[in-house]
Structure 1
Amino acid sequence: MIAFSSLKHFGIHARDGDIGQCKDVFFDDQDYVTRYFVADTHKWLPLGRKVVLSPISLLEVNTTEEKLHVNMTKQALKDSPSIDEHKPLSREYEEILFKYFGYGYYWIGPGAWGDFSHPTELAHQQNMQEDIEEIERPGANHLRSCDEIDGYTVSTNDEDSGHICDFIIDKHNWQVTLFIVDSRDWLPGGKKVALSTAMIKDIDWSAHKVNITLSHEVLKALPEVDDERLDDSDYLTSLVNQAQISG
């Protein structure tokens, strides 16, 4: 497990050197799965720009060195399709990106990673899916930015009761497992608590609000999150277990 607040400071290391820093994470708001890391490359590459990397490319997550190691060269990343920072990622862009890297499409198949349980299994699967692509054209994606949702209001069945301040992500399958809510500025004796994604009713993007299935009183009764331990993987795993029981 890893907190988004920690992950967004990780460096990104290609096979031949450092290439940037993770600045954001895009997840699917239906499956709650991390789809892309947004890399800021301006310190490492000439005319550096923001690019996106799929978990499919990951070789290692080194929490000691705070680095994401990816299976590509700096040149391959430099030549990858550029993105418009001011527009959402489209499915058309995803198709171009996946064809460039030779990845199989995660949106073809029954699971969060298509026919596979782990994202890296989609590496080098492009040719196997070309025939399927002609039959099953992809629909719209549901990508959302963690950085954008950080700060969204959390609304219980009764009233607004806090705001999103972090996310907990499973490093194995890149599932977004928890939303961390800070209620200290909203409730007397407020605290930080962890919500499983099963507790989320919907996300209102126009109102910048996350609506949850819990009541105000149930939210207040959830165990408090220890801020000082959000870089402790074992502690984060225990938070996930607690939240699943509460849900």
Structure 2
Amino acid sequence: MLRKLHSLKSFEVHGRDAKLGKVDDFYFDQSQFVVRYLVLDTGNWLKQEETLISTHAIDNIDYDSKKIMVELTKDQLEDSPSIKRNEPISKVKEQEIIDYFGWPDYWEKTHSSDSELIHAGISERKKLLDFKVLEKEKEAQEKAEIAKTNLRSVEEVRGYKIHAKDENFGHIEDFFIEEEDSWIIRYILVDTGKKIEGKKSVLISPDWIHSISWHGKEIFVDKDKDQIASAPKYEEEKSKNVLPKSYEEMLYDHYDEDKYW
């Protein structure tokens, strides 16, 4: 069963020793459409208002009490790296965060060889020892890495326009994810407004995306509007934030797509 991602927003986050804050946003991997982090709003007890928590740190989610239990303590968050609200996160910043907490990464890293360090010239060695130079280089590197970021804020992409082969048919409202374990985004919930008669919302799989313009805030899917309009009706008011497999079966049969399960 799949769950609507936005239904987890404002859930309380509890660590090993105390309440840490509440869920304010999520960051997903834009190339694989997998949620990687929760954004924690810590209120006023921490010097930075928001910080990231990897999905690897989640121990349990209690949907009835709206609480998320994580393998962290208040002390661990005290000096954790902060983030800027709703902005893309560079690889430099992400590496800083996962190194601090000791979380596993999910991309292939490259390392400088020992020989490169051994043969570094005197000026290069001096640079490595110069803290101010390192800080300036880090800032410049982070700005450059923003352009290559792989993480997107869910709150930032809500409202992106969704286009069929022939015309626009709505905007991103939410996502449906695999519950708890993989955090894979299986569907984009599209708010159609009045563009499709009789259907306020429709579901589109990320697998059916043809292309994305992050700069233009637009997503293009490999379906035409008539196909989307005739798809099995999704009734949000009856879903209770979850999506049954029976509906997925009907949806995939309608589009004649290979099922992922």
What TM bracket, shorter-length normalisation? 0.7 to 0.9
Mapped to 2, the partners of 1:30 and 1:46 lie a distance apart of 32
Largest Rg, 1 or 2: 2
3-state SS of paired residue (2:111): helix
2:79 is equivalent to residue 79 of structure 1: yes
State the secondary structure of the residue aligned to 1:134. coil
- The one of 210, 213, 216 equivalent to 1:207 is 216
Report SS of the residue matched to 1:59: strand
Q: CA offset at residue 55 of structure 1?
A: 0.4
- Corresponding position: 1:142 with 2:119: no
SS in 1 for 2:6: helix
Please state if 1:196 is matched with 2:197. no
Q: TM-score, normalised by structure 1?
A: 0.80
Q: Which residue does the alignment assign to 1:231?
A: 240
Change (3 A) 1:30 1:238: farther
Give the structure 2 partner of residue 117 of structure 1.
none
- Counting matched residue pairs gives 220
Contact 2:87–2:156, Cα closer than 8 Å, also in 1: no
Residues 175-228 of structure 1: CA deviation (Å, up to 9, x unaligned): 011001122322333331111111111221222211111001001011222212
Q: Name stretches of at least 5 consecutive residues in structure 1 with no aligned partner.
A: 109-131
Measured at CA, do residues 144 and 75 of structure 1 come closer, stay the same or move farther in structure 2, by a change above 3 Å? Answer: same
d(CA) in 2 for partners of 1:232, 1:207: 29
Q: 2:88 — aligned with what?
A: 88
Query: Runs of at least 4 residues of structure 1 off by over 6 A?
Result: none
Residue 240 and residue 107 in structure 1: after superposition, are their counterparts in 2 closer, same or farther (change >3 A)? Answer: farther
Is contact 1:38–1:50 with CA below 8 Å preserved after alignment?
yes
Change (3 A) 1:216 1:240: same
Between the aligned partners of 2:200 and 2:193, the Cα distance in structure 1 is: 5
Q: In percent, how many aligned pairs have the same letter?
A: 29
TM superposition shift of 1:96? 1.2
- Which residue of structure 1 aligns with residue 167 of structure 2? 159
Question: Are 1:170 and 2:147 matched, yes or no?
Answer: no
Deviation digits for residues 95-133 of structure 1 (CA, Å, limit 9, x no counterpart): 11111111222113xxxxxxxxxxxxxxxxxxxxxxx75
- Contact 2:23/2:41 (CA < 8 Å) preserved in 1? yes
Q: 2: CA distance between counterparts of 1:170 and 1:55?
A: 12
Q: TM-score, normalised by structure 2?
A: 0.76
In structure 2, runs of 5+ residues without a counterpart are 114-144
Distance 1:98 1:29, change over 3 A: same
